[in-house]
Amino acid sequence: MTDHIQVGSLGGALTKPARLAYIDWMRGLACVLMFQAHCYNSWLNADARKTEFYRFSQAVATLPAPLFIFLAGVSSAMVTHRLRDKGVARNAIARTTILRGAEIYGLGLLFRVQEFVLGYPKSPWTDLLRVDVLNILGLSMMLMGVLCWLTAASADVVGARFSASQSRTSSPPPPITVALIAAAVVVIVTPWLWTTQRLRWLPWPLQSYINGVHIYAQPQPWLFPIFPWVAFAFVGLAIGFLLFSDSSRRKETILFAALGGAGIVACVLSVLFDSARIRLYSAAIYDYWHTSPNFFLMRCGILLALLFLAYAWCRWGWAQKEFSPIIQLGNTSLLVYWVHIEFVYGRFSILPKGRCSILKATAGLLIIFLAMVALSLLRTRWKKRQAKVLRASPAPAAATAESG
């Protein structure tokens, strides 16, 4: 099948339309979970916010951001692996990933400018420097590009030594190992960087990228600083390199089932570690639901289980037998993320903010979902029409040249 770039996706990457539909399906699922989280959070009245329904909605809201960042890691591994197979130099591969990350980061800054302009004069200027999902996605992709470049550089050095001596005495750590180590380091130091080692000497815009403190006295869990969020990208990168290795492709189904099982084990271990008597952190800095490695382990376990379920649904279920609105949203996740925010939180909110019942907010959620699917379809058709025009345009010029 022909490879193509998923420019419309959050952390868009090289992909095969059929075989890797599970990636788009997971992105689409993240979009749906994001819609419900934002809609209920923006529109529900005070009484509705006291219900179990709302608490469950906001618990589910902890999944979309890890999903987007994790899938950016998987996609980056896919790009890197395929470009390496084609013999592309490591510098060119790193440049591709880093530039794409810089593009996403730039879009994140542009998004903040848009929100400031549309919210003026109520929006504070400090929101221009807020660390949001697009910011951390872009930074994560740039850091993954650097990591892949470093591991490739190590492999080149060892390969040169092997060619000279014809005796391999050492080998570089594989990118899977390096990515997992990087994720572990980020997660382990996060509780300290959020509490006792906050790097207060940094200006608040820079400190925000470390712990999400923004302009407040304490780090804010609703922001997306490097620690711990970039760790999801490194885990995704490791999983991606595992999935797209030549040996794994021959045992694809078994590997996905094993990853699903590993996800369940990770969830169980998260609970066991949280209740263990031996603690790495003091009670003063341990926060299971925001910064602890145990909660990170729980979310990674859920991501791995979802990865297996998405793979199974796309391979054996109905995901690709008929039109799938979930996959369609995944194809243009960046676009629908960008647009829906204004119609939920912004000046153009389709319902009054903070004044709706659960039923009314659910009706609004359905409207947002259908509208975003329609927008996604329009975007896809426009891109196809553009591609058709580009394919057809050289023909008249060639015919004119031949007739001359």
Does the pLDDT of residue 156 top 80, yes or no? no
Instruction: Over range 251-258, report the average pLDDT.
Output: 93
126-146 mean pLDDT: 96
In this prediction, residue 13 carries a pLDDT of 45
Banded pLDDT at 209 (limits 50, 70, 90): very high
**Average pLDDT, rounded, for the chain:** 88
pLDDT of 96 > 50? The answer is yes
pLDDT of 4 over the 60 cut: no
pLDDT of residue 394: 59
Residue 17 clears pLDDT 60, i.e. is over it: no
Give the mean pLDDT of 333-341: 95
Arithmetic mean of pLDDT, 191-216: 95
pLDDT at 202 over 80: yes
Contacts of 213 (CB under 8 A, 6+ apart): 198, 204, 207, 219, 220
Higher pLDDT: 163 or 51? It is 51
Share of the chain above pLDDT 90, in %: 74
Average pLDDT over residues 313-339: 92
pLDDT at 318: 85
pLDDT at 11 over 80: no
Q: Report in angstroms the alpha-carbon separations of 128 from 106, 116, 131, 212, 331.
A: 12, 7, 9, 14, 28
Q: How confident is the model at residue 313 (pLDDT cuts 50, 70, 90)?
A: very high
363 pLDDT higher than 90: yes
Q: What mean pLDDT is predicted for residues 339-357?
A: 95
Position 8 pLDDT exceeds 70: no
Lowest mean pLDDT among 106-110, 170-174, 295-299: 170-174
Contact 375, 336 (CB under 8 A): yes
- Residue 246 has a pLDDT of 80
Question: Residues of the chain with pLDDT > 70: what percent?
Answer: 87
**Predicted local confidence at residue 6, as pLDDT:** 43
Burial 223-245 (b: 16+ CB within 10 A, else e): bbbbbbbbbbbbbbbbbbbbbbe
Least confident range of 137-146, 188-197, 393-402: 393-402
pLDDT at 15 over 80: no
